Structure 1
Amino acid sequence: MARVLVAVTGGVAAIKAPHLLRLLRARGHEVRVLATPRALEFITPLSLAVAAGGEVATEEAWFRPDGRALHIDLARWAEVVLVAPATAEAMAKAALGLADDLLSATLLAGARRVAWAPAMNEAMWLAPQTQGHAERLKALGHAVFGPGYGPLAAVGEGEGWGRMLEPEELLERLEAFLAPKDLLGLRLLVSAGPTREYLDPVRFISNPSSGRMGYAVAEAARDRGAEVVLVSGPTCLKAPWGVEVVRVESALEMRQAILERYPWAKAVVMAAAVADYRPAEVLKDKEPKVEAEKTIRLVPNPDILKELGERKEGRVLVGFAMETASGLERAQEKLRRKNLDLIALNWVNREGVGFGSPENEVVLISRDGRVLELPRMEKRQVAHRILDLVKEFWKP
């Protein structure tokens, strides 16, 4: 976790700052907040202080009676400064090395890492001056998150580029910016979500998988510098930024998508809950309901992970085993039978860690005999533990 200084500049998007501050604290980051005079025309110091859990740094408190300078203290304390929202003026001052207010002085006083979340009218964002300043900041090692496309604040402006990214995405981008890039060069193929095996155009066999675990692996690997392709069954999850997402429905479609990309991959994490069976016959039209028993003949789906293990050729293979009983022995046998490097065992019948939960509780079993029992934790944390072991087995 990091010490994050959130600098709020003047703009309508300043009203989102308290939500951003709460998200950062909930994720475990230590936060402080700085607000420019124009920012305080949109949001009150009290709102920011409550969300940050501490006082707001303002121009009035810049120089203290004891002779200490607030911009020096803030620059030394912060591991990263996130300017959100960031106005064109604030970006210009930083790019030019000006230091005539608390924010610009803090940035020039040795802030270690800086990220910007631009928020302005589309014409201002696309202006050559602003684009030039953004490129200058990137050349200095700063990150620029966005802006996004959407409704603009000024009356009559409609939609355009210049809207600040939402706090949830800013949190993800910031954590990716801060993460160690220890997986640079890794090409990772991840599967996630359920599959659907259709009986007719409107009925199908599936399972309650949400895809959260696979998406967490894809996002964590992206943050650590890997190039990631995510093959996803039907989910309600937003496509992760910075990740190529391939949408599929059936097990056969998932198999095809994975095998097509397998030669490219250096590692594969099969987190998808792929259906074991599919209907032997798929009806062209919806079958009317009848008041009688019905028998459906099912045939086995291909074992995708087993196929990958048979043509492994130096790749790192990770599988999942969801069990209700005798899990350890069955997972160990599955690891051997499918030629895996690692398997993650979890239990569907444990409350709070089954399908759809934001948390998981897994046992990681590796090919070298290690059995690592992880306590209950967020799926993103589980993903990082899996990737730590992938890193051990991966040979760049």
Structure 2
Amino acid sequence: MARVLVAVTGGVAAIKAPRLLRLLRAEGHEVRVLATPRALEFVTPLSLAVAAGGEVATEEAWFRPDGRALHIELARWAEVVLVAPATAEAMAKAALGLADDLLSATLLAGARRVAWAPAMNEAMWLAPQTQEHAKRLEALGHALFGPAHGPLAAVGEGEGWGRMLEPEELVERLRAFLAPKDLLGLRLLVSAGPTREYLDPVRFLSNPSSGRMGYAVAEAARDRGAEVVLVSGPTSLPDPWGVEVVRVESALEMREALLERYGWAEAVVMAAAVADYRPAETLKDKEPKAEAEKLLRLVPNPDILKELGEGKGGRVLVGFAMETAEGLERAREKLRRKNLDLIVLNWVNREGVGFGSPENEVVLLLRDGRVLELPRMTKRRVADRILDWVREFWKA
């Protein structure tokens, strides 16, 4: 976690700043807030102070009675400055090295890492001057989070580029910005979610997998510098930014998508809950309901993970095992039989973890025989622990 200075400049999107501050604190960051005079026309100092858990740095407090300069203090304190919303004026001043207000002076006084969340009218964002300033800021090592395309604040402007990213996405982008890039150069293939095996156009066999675990692996790997392709079964999760997403439905479609990209990959994390069986026949039309008993004939789906293991070569291969009993013995056998480097054992019958939950409680079994039990934690943290071992095997 980091010390984050959130700098709020004058735009309608400033009304989202309190939520951003609360989310950053919930993430575990230590937060301070700076607000320009124009920002305080949209959001009150009290709302910012309550959300940040401390006083608001303003122009009035720039120079202390004891001679201390607030811009120097803030620049030294902050490990990262997030300007959200960021106006065209604020970006221009920073790009040109001006220092005539508290924010621009703080940035020029040695702020270590800076990220911008632009928010302005589309014409202002696309103006050559703004684009030039954005390029100059990126050349200085600053990051740009957005802007997004969507409804613009001014009456009658409709939709366009220039909308500030939502606070939830800004927190995610900041997490990626701060993450160590220890997987830079790794090509990672991840599978996630359930598969659907259709009986007819409206009925199918599936399982309760939400896809959260696989998506967490893909997002964590992206943040750590990997190039990621995510092959996803049907889920309600949005496509992660910065990740190539391939959407599939059936086990056969997932197999085809994974094998097509297997030659590209240096590591594979198979987090998908692939159906073991599919109907022997899929009807073209919806079958009407009948009172009589109906027998369903199933045929086995291909064992995708075993197939990947047989053609593994020098790749790193991670599998998952979902068990309710005798989990360790079955996971060890699966690790050996499918030629894996690591297998992640899930206990699906434990309350509060597994399918659909934001948390998980897993056991990692390594190819050298080691068994590592992880306490209950978020799936994102589990993803990072898995990727720590992917990195070790990949580097080796």
CA distance in 1, matches of 2:169, 2:253: 30
- 2:380 matched residue in structure 1: 380
In 1, Cα distance between the equivalents of 2:394 and 2:282?
Answer: 41
- The superposition leaves residues 173-214 of structure 1 with CA deviations (integer Å, 9 ceiling, x where unpaired) of 111111111101100000000000000000000000000000
How far apart, CA to CA, are the structure 2 residues paired with 1:328 and 1:52? Answer: 45
Secondary structure at 2:395's aligned position in 1? coil
Matching residue of 1:292: 292
Separation in structure 1 between the aligned mates of residue 365 and residue 30 of structure 2, nearest angstrom: 34
Pairs within 5 Å for 1:1-396: 1-395=1-395
Query: Separation in 2 of the partners of 1:243 and 1:314?
Result: 23
Distance in structure 2 (CA, Å) of the matches to 1:70 and 1:28:
24
Determine the C-alpha separation between the residues in 2 that align with 1:237 and 1:286.
Answer: 28
Give secondary structure in 1 for the equivalent of 2:5: strand
Please state whether the residue corresponding to 1:4 is helix, strand or coil.
Answer: strand
Give the C-alpha shift of residue 248 in structure 1. 0.1
CA deviation after TM superposition for structure 1 residue 215, in Å: 0.2
Query: How far 1:102 moved relative to its partner?
Result: 0.4
Q: Cα RMSD over matched residues?
A: 0.6
Instruction: Please list the CA deviations of residues 65-94 of structure 1 after superposition, one character each: whole Å capped at 9, or x if unmatched.
Output: 111111111000100000000000000000
Shift of 1:120: 0.1
Displacement of 1:370: 1.5
The Cα offsets for residues 281-300 of structure 1, whole Å up to 9 and x where unpaired, read as 00011000011211100000
> With structure 2 as the length reference, what TM-score do the two structures score?
0.99
CA displacement 1:235-266 (0-9 Å, x = unmatched): 00010000000000000000000000000000
| In 1: Cα distance, 2:265 partner to 2:389 partner | 17
Cα offset, 1:369, TM superposition: 1.4
- How far apart are residue 368 of structure 1 and its match? 1.2
Residues 82-139 of structure 1: CA distance to partner in whole angstroms, max 9, x if unpaired? 0000000000000000000000000000000000000000000000000000000000
SS in structure 2 of the partner of residue 99 of structure 1: coil
Quote the offset at 1:395 in angstroms: 3.8
Output the CA distance in 2 between the equivalents of 1:72 and 1:6.
16
The number of equivalent residue pairs is 396
The worse-fitting range, judged by mean Cα deviation, of 289-298 and 248-257 is 289-298
Identity %: 91
- Distance (Å, rounded) in 2 between the aligned partners of 1:395 and 1:306: 24
Whole-Å separation in 2 of the counterparts to 1:2 and 1:370: 33
- Once residues 256 and 316 of structure 2 are traced to their aligned partners in structure 1, the CA distance between those partners, rounded to angstroms, is 19
Deviations 1:9-48 (A, max 9, x none): 0000000001111111111111110000000000001111
Q: Report deviation, 1:221.
A: 0.2
Q: How far apart, CA to CA, are the structure 1 residues paired with 2:15 and 2:343?
A: 45
Mapped to 2, the partners of 1:332 and 1:30 lie a distance apart of 42
User: For residues 170 and 288 of structure 2, what CA distance do their matches in structure 1 show?
Assistant: 49
Report the TM-score when normalising by structure 1.
0.99
What 5-or-longer segments of structure 2 have no aligned partner?
Answer: none
How far apart, CA to CA, are the structure 1 residues paired with 2:395 and 2:221? 16
CA distance in 1, matches of 2:345, 2:72: 49
Counterpart-to-counterpart distance in 1, 2:76 and 2:395:
38
**SS of residue matched to 1:222:** helix
SS of the residue corresponding to residue 83 of structure 2 reads strand
Q: Post-superposition, which runs of at least 4 consecutive aligned residues in structure 1 deviate over 6 A?
A: none
Rounded to whole Å, the distance in 2 between the matches of 1:48 and 1:326 is 52
Aligned equivalents of 1:218 and 1:35: distance in 2? 35
Q: CA deviation at 1:354?
A: 2.1
